[in-house]
């Protein structure tokens, strides 16, 4: 993947950014939506400013008018994909008028975590590991985006520390399952580990 600018265009081209007018902001959102859709469909491999421009139906100069380079555009698109999935995770915290248990919530969101958008979000994790200095925000951003919903699903009577501990455990374990499923192809092993996680959460909530 090459997130540098296209040939002859420096990464920070210095193009005038949108002044934040309603029209300019609407155009920026439209461009971001188009690039995000392309990432969801085709993944991060071979992502570049030129590819993003084709997906958005514009030129790289227009993208640089609205975004601070290819890395900025990539990060914003990844965050937008996560926000969509997190929105669905928030919706899964209740079933009808009843609040789900933490174990039930994990079961409810798992199909979405391994759904169509999973590939590109897992690739983003790999990108943060491959070049942590350049893409550290992709890793930190994932935790910052997911933790609030996990904390909200924890039983209300738990202490803040206990909620944090369990939420961090669930986040790290699910992330590990996703990476393992993608890299090893051992779906049976991942399924077994997932069931063990659910049982552990049921025991945790019962104490």
For 122-173, how does the pLDDT look when each residue is reduced to its tens digit (9 = 90+)? 888 888 888 888 888 777 777 788 889 999 999 999 999 999 999 999 999 9
**Lowest mean pLDDT segment, chosen from 75-89, 126-140, 183-197:** 126-140
Give the model's confidence band at 18: pLDDT under 50 very low, under 70 low, under 90 confident, else very high. low
> Which of 3, 134, 5 minimizes the C-alpha distance to 74?
3
Measure the N-to-C terminal CA separation of the chain; round to a whole number of Å: 47
Model pTM score: 0.74
Q: Radius of gyration (Cα) for the chain, nearest Å?
A: 19
Share of the chain above pLDDT 90, in %: 47
Cα within 13 Å of Cα(34), Cβ side: 16
Q: How far apart are CA 201 and CA 170, in angstroms?
A: 9
Provide the token pair at 80.
Answer: 């937008």
> Is the model's pLDDT at 36 over the cut of 90?
yes
CB atoms within 10 A of CB 130: 11
Q: d(Cα 203, Cα 207) in Å, to the nearest integer? A: 7
């Amino acid at each position: 993947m090459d997130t540098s600018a296209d040939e002859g265009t420096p990464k920070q081209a210095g193009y005038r950014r949108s002044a934040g007018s309603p029209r300019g902001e609407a155009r920026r959102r439209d461009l971001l939506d188009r690039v995000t859709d392309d990432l969801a469909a085709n993944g991060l491999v071979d992502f570049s400013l030129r590819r993003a421009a084709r997906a958005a139906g514009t030129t790289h100069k227009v993208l640089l008018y609205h975004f601070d380079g290819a890395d900025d555009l990539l990060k914003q698109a990844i965050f937008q994909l996560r926000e969509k999935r997190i929105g669905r995770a928030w919706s899964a915290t209740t079933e009808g008028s009843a609040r789900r248990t933490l174990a039930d919530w994990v079961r409810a969101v798992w199909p979405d975590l391994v759904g169509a958008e999973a590939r590109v979000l897992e690739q983003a994790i790999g990108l943060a590991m491959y070049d942590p200095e350049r893409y550290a925000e992709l890793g930190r951003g994932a935790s910052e985006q997911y933790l609030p919903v996990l904390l909200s699903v924890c039983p209300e009577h738990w202490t803040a520390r206990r909620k944090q501990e369990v939420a961090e455990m669930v986040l790290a374990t699910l992330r590990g399952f996703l990476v393992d499923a993608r890299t090893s192809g051992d779906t049976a092993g991942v399924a077994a580990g997932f069931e063990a996680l659910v049982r552990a959460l049921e025991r945790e909530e019962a104490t």
